[in-house]
Structure 1
Amino acid sequence: MPVTQGDTRRSILDTAQRIMSRKGFAAVGINEVLSAAGVPKGSFYHYFNSKDAFGEAMMQSYFTDYLADMDRVLAEPGATSAQRLLNYWQSWRDTQSVDECQGKCLAVKLGAEVADLSESMRLALKDGTTAIVDRLERAIAAGVEDGSLSVDDGVRTTAQVLYDMWLGASVMAKIHRDIAALDSAMAATRRLLHL
């Protein structure tokens, strides 16, 4: 089957995510991504107007995939809302502790770097992380409703605090190359949700 333009674009974005999750945005040149994706060097601007537009598209693609996985975990049949949330955070812990705590989350890896580098990438990060907190809020509200968890603060506040805590714990795990911060985040999550 011939490769379509959409397949080539997606291949570039997927390849960039893999490379940039290890190296960062500024440290990776477009030629490195194109070479790894097997795409001719001269064709980059056929798919993206600039490196910023490319970075924005990469973040949007990343969050589209991330949110689809999150939706799957938070809709797991036969589990309480509390168990679904714990499964989500366990998955987070597992993916952030790979390769000596280098993780696979682009929000963790690129957040601080690109927020000051590119307004379009910052906005893509903002939209993506807001969508994550929205889903956490809905899952926590469902847990309060089904009685599988409870919160002392508002549901939205709790969702935001939990996301912020896990993001910070992921950064600390990278700094220390140790999963202790992620384990502390899990224990604090259980306390905040009264589990």
Structure 2
Amino acid sequence: MPATTTRNADTRRNILDTAQRIMAHKGYSAVGLNEVLAAASVPKGSFYHYFSSKDAFGEALLQSYFDEYLADMDRVLAQPDRSAAERLMAYWESWRETQSFDECQGKCLAVKLGAEVADLSEPMRLALKEGTTAIVDRLERAITSGRADGSITTDDAPRETAQVLYDMWLGASVMAKIHRSLGPLDTTMAMTRQLLHV
């Protein structure tokens, strides 16, 4: 890869990483491009060299976020020395740790931006839909695996259970921020154990 191409990719990555951290605290609309570029130490005039529009930037931001999130999720759910139930509960524990505080370092972007950008930008809404569907797909596979190894039992089909669990955790994350309390996440953890019979 030529040096210029590598440098451009590194700068683009730096802009996205910086934006993710800032927007996890402030939201999407409250953050101007100039703030992101200044924090990333990138000249103001060069933004459109890396992104064709703010919508394209927002879409790339969410795609990048979900790429990292799903890679982390895959690592947690692929631990070979644990049952499917143990791997799945480790994922929920990780969620509780990374999504419960304001200092989430960009790890709660779907929670922070979901409702806000779904009405602002169709490309961003679709990126959110694709990313959250990929999360539910992984949860469904983990539940199916747990039913096969006997570590999980569910009253409903794995897909339905996966969707309910994801929806519960997403809602609990919002409520934890509203109440500034881990209570909603702890309640959701207890309900998760009941739904999975673990």
Q: Provide TM-score, normalisation by structure 1.
A: 0.97
Question: Aligned residue pairs: how many?
Answer: 195
User: 2:105 and 2:64 mapped to 1: Cα distance?
Assistant: 20
Q: Find the counterpart in structure 1 of residue 132 from structure 2.
A: 129
CA contact (8 A) 1:101 1:179 kept: no
State which of 160, 170, 173 in structure 2 corresponds to 1:170: 173
Task: Report SS of the residue matched to 1:98.
Answer: coil
How does 1:83-94 map onto structure 2 within 5 Å? 83-94=86-97
Please say which of residues 10-19 and 103-112 is displaced more in the overlay. Answer: 103-112
How does 1:66-145 map onto structure 2 within 5 Å? 66-99=69-102, 104-145=107-148
RMSD across aligned positions (CA): 1.5
Unaligned runs of 5+ in 1: none
CA contact (8 A) 2:136 2:163 kept: yes
User: 2:74 and 2:31 mapped to 1: Cα distance?
Assistant: 31
Does residue 7 of the first structure (1) align with residue 4 of the second (2)? no
User: 2:107 and 2:13 mapped to 1: Cα distance?
Assistant: 18
Q: Find the counterpart in structure 2 of residue 45 from structure 1.
A: 48
Q: Deviations over 1:83-136 (max 9, x none)?
A: 000000000000112347898311100000000000000000000000000000
Q: Provide TM-score, normalisation by structure 2.
A: 0.95
How does 1:17-32 map onto structure 2 within 5 Å? 17-32=20-35
Unaligned runs of 5+ in 2: none
Q: Deviations over 1:48-88 (max 9, x none)?
A: 01111000000000000000000000001200000000000
Does residue 152 of the first structure (1) align with residue 155 of the second (2)? yes
Q: Find the counterpart in structure 2 of residue 180 from structure 1.
A: 183
